[in-house]
């Protein structure tokens, strides 16, 4: 499930990296805003896959993902527990799929199953999973879009060792920062 992201402009990549920093460092503290951002990203991502099948007009191919992102962002703000489950499921599944470049249906199914298990644990352990999920979601945005901008790649990003290094480094920094700054939050 590798996507050619070379169509992104520099501004979109800068926005994605900025959102990644926000999620990695402040995702749990401002979790409702984080839900809006993550759900917007999910809607944008899924609709950008479907838009070329819906229309051939380039304007609509850019507008459909934005509209889907806004709709899912509003949804994400409203239903907190469902969002925690879905965000954890999505984050774990897509991180496994993207990091290990999974394309076989069996492995994609296993990645989704791991994501569902993470989603169930996320509901039970909201604070630690919220911090871990937002840190990894932000780290993934930063790793993916910084490599796109710095290396001008248009093939699967996870093939770069730097993707995994950036992903893990930013996630660890984000988790450390959030666990220290969120001690007083429930």
Distance CA 157, CA 4 (A): 9
Tell me how far the alpha carbon of residue 1 is from its chain's centroid.
14
How far is 170 from 20, CA to CA, in rounded Å? 9
Of 23-32, 35-44, 102-111, 142-151, the one with minimum mean pLDDT is 142-151
- Confidence category of residue 149, pLDDT binned at 50, 70, 90: low
Quote the CA–CA distance of 182 and 169 in Å, as a whole number: 20
pLDDT of the residue at 175: 95
Task: Tell me the two tokens of residue 179.
Answer: 């666990």
d(CA 52, CA 65): 11
Per the CB < 8 A criterion, the answer to whether 48 and 96 are in contact is: no
Termini Cα distance of the chain = 36
pLDDT over threshold 90, residue 170? yes
Domain regions of the chain by residue span: 10-181
Length of the chain: 186
Compute CA distances 77 → 22, 32, 59, 101, 170, whole Å.
17, 6, 27, 31, 25
| Distance between CA atoms of residues 71 and 66, nearest Å | 9
CA-nearest of 47, 42, 51, 43 to 91 is 42
pLDDT, tens digit, 9 for 90 and up, residues 52-77: 899 899 889 889 999 999 998 888 77
CA-to-CA distance for 114 and 108, rounded, in angstroms? 10
Model pLDDT, residue 4: 46
Q: Is the pTM of this model over 0.85?
A: no
């Amino acid at each position: 499930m590798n996507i050619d992201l070379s169509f992104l402009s520099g501004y979109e990549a800068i926005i994605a990296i900025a959102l990644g920093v926000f999620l990695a460092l402040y995702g749990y503290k401002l979790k409702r805003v984080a839900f809006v951002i993550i759900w917007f990203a999910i809607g944008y991502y899924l609709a950008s896959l479907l838009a070329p099948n819906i229309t051939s007009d380039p304007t609509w191919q850019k507008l459909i993902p934005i509209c889907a992102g806004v709709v899912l962002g509003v949804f994400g703000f409203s239903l907190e527990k469902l969002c925690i489950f879905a965000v954890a499921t999505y984050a774990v599944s897509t991180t496994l799929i993207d990091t290990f470049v999974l394309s076989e249906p069996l492995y994609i199914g296993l990645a989704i199953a791991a994501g569902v298990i993470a989603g169930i644990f996320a509901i039970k352990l909201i604070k630690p999973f919220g911090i871990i999920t937002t840190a990894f979601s932000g780290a993934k945005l930063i790793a993916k879009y910084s490599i796109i901008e710095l290396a001008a790649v248009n093939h699967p990003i996870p093939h770069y060792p730097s993707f995994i290094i950036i992903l893990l480094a930013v996630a660890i920094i984000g988790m450390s920062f959030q666990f220290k700054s969120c001690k007083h939050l429930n």
